[in-house]
Amino acid sequence: MSRSSMPLRWVERCTLWLYGQFMRSLQPFLLRKLRRRGQQEPGYLHQVPQRLGRYDTPAVLPGAVWVHAVSLGETRAAGLLIEALRQRWPGMRLVLTHSTATGWAQGQSLLRQGDVQVWFPWDTPQATQRFLQHHQPALGVLMETEVWPVMVQACQQARVPLFLANARLNHASQRSAQRWSWLSGPAYRGLRGVWAQSEADAQRLRSLGASIEAVLGNLKFDVQDQPQALVQAQFWRSHWVLGGRPRPVVMLASTREGEEAEWLAALAAKPEREQAMRDAGVLWLLVPRHPQRFEEVHVAVKASGMAVFKRSALLPDDGVWPQAAAQAEVFLGDSVGEMPVYFQAADMALLGGSFKPLGGQNLIEAAAFGCPVIMGPHTFNFAQAADWAENSGAASRVADMDAALDQVLAWSTHAADLARAKHQGLQMVAQSRGAADRYAQAIMAFGDFGDQGIEGALASPTN
């Protein structure tokens, strides 16, 4: 008997049943929370019944590949894997699911004719079963961290092999899962296979019962060039000048709640440093992580006395650069999906989420676009990439926001050091590419599809 088909212990079965009932009882509260979120981000109110596993649109033909990418970062990584899979199966049909509006928006660019994009259902027996019955995927691929107990059980019952790709798990999540082992144990054991980003991730996942097939690296190192984004970034840079000289552009990338206040306080704490940055013409490119905070951040920065210009105020293709944009001290990146533009427009970036104990954000994209990173002490969500960047010289780790601004001034006045960090980041990414092909090959090599093999299963109109 295979590991994934072993009967659950009775305690685990009871716990899973109670969990499913509890999740079902939460649905009215989740719907209310969704409506409140939707007032700030209307995308969350699109096709709400799909969260309950109810669909008013046709499914793709049975035998599709189902990929779940919860949010924006996972969707970008999923796009690299999907492209590698399409190269092997040009006729592959895709069911793409998300849990956030930013993930949905990014995912639309990955669809081809015949594909389907829907919300990931809430983790109840009824919703997960309706999802699988409607879409009938040949297999499922969860990206990075998204393992839900009831969905795993539903896939086992429906005989849908479920994999976890680009898998990562930090120490805090491992401890939390171990505390809830009656739920997490069956979920991780129920996965057909797991491919981890690093050996450290693999060891933590094994401790929860996951069957690790291989360590294949991080898909995000396969980030592709964005020539159109580069053209737009260069256009902005051509207007970011002071006294005929290009302005140093310092990005605050994917900032989280409280970090903008820390930045403003650190600026004010040392007037001589702030004046040196003003004299150098530093332009702060501030990009909050969550769209619902755009206006909140705009108000806070404006209240500090700094001149702010919003990205959303730029008119498309009119060729006119507003006077307010030319005089701004802060350019607020209140848009979604333009991180390649922002990174290619910036000289350096402060890594959001790393100055509060939130685990940081993915810094690989910054390195790939030649933007050196200054990161705070909290990078546990992307520990391996952060360590690689620090050790290679592509990133500088500092103790707090005050030290980060000292590093900004140091790089702004030592062009050779900044250029060296940029070069090291590009080298780090170039040396780590190839994960997308490895993941696609690993999926293709799995043999849970009878005599026809996985390629035949995906190409067949019935499964």
Token duo for residue 355: 């100055």
64 CA to centre of own chain: 24
At 124, is the secondary structure helix, strand, or coil? coil
Which residue among 12, 74, 144, 365 is the active-site one? 74
Distance CA 461, CA 463 (A): 7
Phi, psi of 249 (to 5 degrees): -110, 115
CB proximity list for 393: less than 8 A, separation 6 or greater: 420, 421, 424
Q: Is 74 a catalytic residue?
A: yes
E-assigned strand segments in 42-112? 65-68, 94-98
Distance CA 170, CA 426 (A): 26
Distance CA 301, CA 297 (A): 6
Residue with tokens 């307010």: 324
Token duo for residue 366: 């910054």
Residue 301 identity: V
Residue with tokens 């206040």: 261
Distance CA 352, CA 160 (A): 38
Token duo for residue 323: 């006077």
Distance CA 137, CA 159 (A): 10
As annotated, the active-site residues are 74
